[in-house]
Structure 1
Amino acid sequence: MRAIALLLAIALGALLLSLSYSPPYGGSYTYYVTHWTEINVPNLVSAILAGWRAYDSLGEASLLFTAVIGFYVLLGGKKK
């Protein structure tokens, strides 16, 4: 079980390191204003919040998952 947890932690770390964290085209405002037809949200503020909310939720979920797996491994897993 510890090997699986370690493998998942390494895979998650590799995934997070492979992502591009550079701002697109000088910032989110410029991106959303110039690519208005791709967004399909009528309000600019809602478009920015909806676009970045997915990254925020993914980060929160991965943090929670990592914390749960870490505590499980630290506490010794299942008791026999």
Structure 2
Amino acid sequence: MRKAALLLTLALGAFLLGLDYTPSQGGSYAYYVSNWNEIGVPNLVSAILAGWRAYDSLGEASLLFTAVMGFYLLLGGKKK
């Protein structure tokens, strides 16, 4: 189990180190306006919330679910 966790951690680290972290020219507003038509929503604010921020919300929800399940299992699960 430790070897699998170590392998997963190393793979995640290698993936994160391989990403491109250069900032886009013009800031986030220019990026959102230039890529607005990717989402297909007529309102810019709705496009940001529906498209790009949805991934962030999904990540937060999965993190919260994982934390709740971890505490549930840590406390012994369902008592009979």
| TM-score bucket of the superposed structures, by smaller chain | 0.5 to 0.7
Aligned pairs, number: 65
Pairing of 1:1-80 with structure 2 (within 5 A): 1-49=1-49, 50-55=51-56, 57-58=58-59, 61=62
TM-score after normalising by structure 2: 0.56
Check whether the contact 1:32–1:39 (CA below 8 A) recurs between aligned residues: no
Post-superposition CA distance 1:27-64 (Å, at most 9, x none): 221112123322312221122233133156447758x6
Q: Evaluate the alpha carbon distance shift between residue 60 and residue 2 of structure 1 in structure 2; reply closer, same or farther with a 3 A threshold.
A: farther
* RMSD after superposition: 2.9
Q: Evaluate the alpha carbon distance shift between residue 10 and residue 59 of structure 1 in structure 2; reply closer, same or farther with a 3 A threshold.
A: farther
Stretches of structure 2 that go unaligned for 5 or more consecutive residues are: 71-80
TM-score after normalising by structure 1: 0.56
Check whether the contact 1:41–1:47 (CA below 8 A) recurs between aligned residues: yes
Stretches of structure 1 that go unaligned for 5 or more consecutive residues are: 69-80
